[in-house]
């Protein structure tokens, strides 16, 4: 058991939500909100810059959050051996980022940025060491994105001097693409929440926030976010596909996501592929607004250190590679998460990333058997982040909200490990299949949430596979 915080229940056996989460759960919410907004750089649009908050106020805020996070983890009764075992690959990846500082040309800058990344991992550990980590994860999403979308709507529609700059919608964020990401991620969660709980049972404020989020998204001029949101809704629909009374959604989602990912990747390699022609037809540059040329130039420089890269976040420091002489818009990222990961962490970093993504997908597929809503949400968000990073850069960089969300997704508890599936599926070869594809699971599902106190126990609503 990671956390000793107890739930309280009403006379009807329902969890009293106000008493369910510790006060420390606000720390991941605040961190995510700060990364996604310009709250630390000032609400004035004159100081809005792309690349995330910087300066003394931001450093002091994140340092305080790290101290509080460390205090929270230190005073919780945590089985560290179990926590490390279930997150060993993630911890190794973050350790490799730290080691890469040793060959960085700017070690002091790399240390500062890596410290912030370690703080992000601490915030993720706070979530999974709550008494009910799956409910805590949803609570963080609900708190943070509800406020982000609501505040953005306030700034755009009520106080446009704070939310619109030169006819471009920014909301409370510092860039239109960040606004698109926020509305995309937030709307996906809130919409799936409405479907799970039923629209009739939904709070009016949640419906209002969803409408605002979707409306702002499709008026933010962030094409990547709009496309990802559309595909995400189709992914959610596929999860509910049945053959008879058997759900085959996980398998179809995998095939669908894999096919689209391969298409995006191969199409990006073509000078004018089908996707490029589509963008040109709707008035967008067929080379992703000059990004293809940037990728080519960045990769030429990155090949000087192909295996281990230039060190953690040490590539885009001012104009050390003279790219600003070529691109007048002064890029501070490659506008591709995979290209940026290659430049900073090399081929080894990409290998780490591949295994973490694959491992997270399999774990989330297993989690669907225990907690359908969160398992599906983790898969959708994981795929979304992978798609976002074809044309935006958010992987392995401490300044983006998607990297924070990614850290929250890839960390995990022991609730979805094979050991906890033994009672569900006693036959090993069938259990392995059931962990990845919920093909044999009956239409009757387990309870929506399973606390650590119930860990290892089995619901009678799940039928074991036939011998």
Q: What is the count of structural domains for the chain? A: 1
Residue 290 lies in a domain: yes
Q: Domain of 108?
A: 17-454
Q: Is residue 404 in some structural domain? A: yes
**pLDDT score, position 79:** 87
- How big is the chain, counted in residues? 467
Residue 39 in any domain: the answer is yes
158 DSSP assignment: I
Residue 399: the pLDDT is 81
Q: What is the pLDDT of residue 98?
A: 94
Those residues of the chain that have pLDDT short of 70 are 1-19, 46-54, 199-202, 240-254, 256-290, 319-320, 414-467
Q: Tell me how many degrees the CA angle 190-192-193 measures, rounded to the nearest 5.
A: 60
Residue 461, domain member (yes or no): no
| Three-state SS at 393 | coil
Q: How far is CA 354 from the centre of its chain?
A: 15
Question: Is 464 domain-assigned?
Answer: no
Closest CA to 73 of 8, 2, 134: 2
Residues whose CB is less than 8 angstroms from the CB of residue 298 and which lie 6 or more positions away in sequence, other chains included: 321, 323, 334, 339, 343
Q: Is residue 467 part of a domain?
A: no
In a domain, 8, yes or no: no
- At 85-113, the pLDDT tens digits run 999 999 999 999 999 999 988 889 889 99
pLDDT given for residue 375 in this prediction? 85
- Tokens at residue 208, please? 């209002």
Give tens-digit pLDDT for 209-259. 999 999 999 998 888 899 889 888 888 877 766 555 455 555 566 676 666
Residue 466 domain-assigned? no
pLDDT at 284: 53
Nearest Cα to 175, choosing from 51, 54, 41, 284? 51
């Amino acid at each position: 058991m990671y956390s000793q915080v107890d739930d309280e229940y009403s006379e009807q056996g329902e969890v009293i939500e106000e008493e369910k989460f510790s006060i420390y759960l606000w720390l991941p919410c605040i961190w995510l909100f700060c990364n996604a907004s310009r709250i630390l750089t000032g609400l004035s649009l004159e100081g809005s810059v792309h690349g995330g908050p910087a300066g003394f106020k931001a450093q002091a805020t994140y340092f305080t959050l790290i101290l509080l996070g460390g205090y929270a983890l230190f005073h919780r009764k945590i089985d560290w051996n179990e926590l490390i075992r279930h997150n060993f690959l993630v911890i190794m990846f973050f350790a490799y980022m730290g080691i890469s500082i040793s060959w960085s040309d700017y070690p002091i800058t790399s240390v500062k940025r890596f410290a912030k990344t370690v703080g992000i991992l601490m915030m993720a550990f706070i979530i999974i060491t709550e008494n009910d980590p799956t409910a805590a994860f949803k609570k963080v999403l609900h708190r943070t994105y509800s406020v982000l979308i609501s505040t953005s709507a306030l700034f755009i529609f009520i106080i446009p001097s704070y939310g619109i700059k030169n006819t471009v919608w920014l909301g409370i964020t510092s860039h239109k693409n960040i606004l698109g990401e926020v509305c995309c991620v937030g709307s996906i969660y809130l919409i799936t929440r409405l479907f799970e709980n039923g629209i009739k049972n939904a709070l009016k404020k949640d419906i209002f926030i969803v409408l605002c989020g979707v409306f702002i998204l499709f008026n933010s001029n962030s094409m990547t976010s709009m496309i990802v949101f559309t595909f995400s809704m189709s992914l959610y629909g596929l999860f509910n596909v049945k053959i008879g009374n058997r759900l085959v959604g996980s398998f179809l989602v995998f095939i669908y996501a894999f096919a689209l990912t391969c298409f995006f990747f191969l199409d990006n390699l073509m000078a004018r592929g089908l996707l490029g022609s589509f963008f040109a037809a709707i008035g967008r540059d067929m080379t992703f607004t000059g990004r293809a040329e940037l990728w080519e130039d960045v990769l030429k420089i990155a090949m000087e250190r192909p295996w281990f890269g230039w060190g953690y976040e040490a590539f885009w420091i001012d104009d050390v590679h003279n790219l600003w002489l070529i691109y007048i818009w002064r890029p501070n990222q490659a506008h591709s998460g995979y290209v940026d990961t290659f430049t900073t962490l090399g081929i080894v970093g990409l290998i780490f990333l591949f295994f973490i993504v694959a491992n997270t997908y399999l774990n989330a597929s297993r989690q669907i058997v225990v907690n359908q809503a969160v398992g599906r949400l983790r898969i959708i968000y994981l795929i979304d982040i992978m798609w976002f990073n074809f044309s935006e850069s958010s992987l392995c960089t401490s300044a983006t909200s998607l990297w924070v969300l990614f850290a929250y997704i890839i960390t995990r508890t022991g609730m979805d490990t094979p050991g906890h599936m033994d009672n569900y599926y006693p036959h090993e070869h069938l259990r392995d299949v059931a962990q990845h594809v919920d093909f044999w699971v009956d239409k009757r599902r387990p309870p929506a949430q399973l606390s650590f106190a119930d860990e290892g126990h089995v619901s009678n609503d799940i039928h074991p596979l036939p011998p």
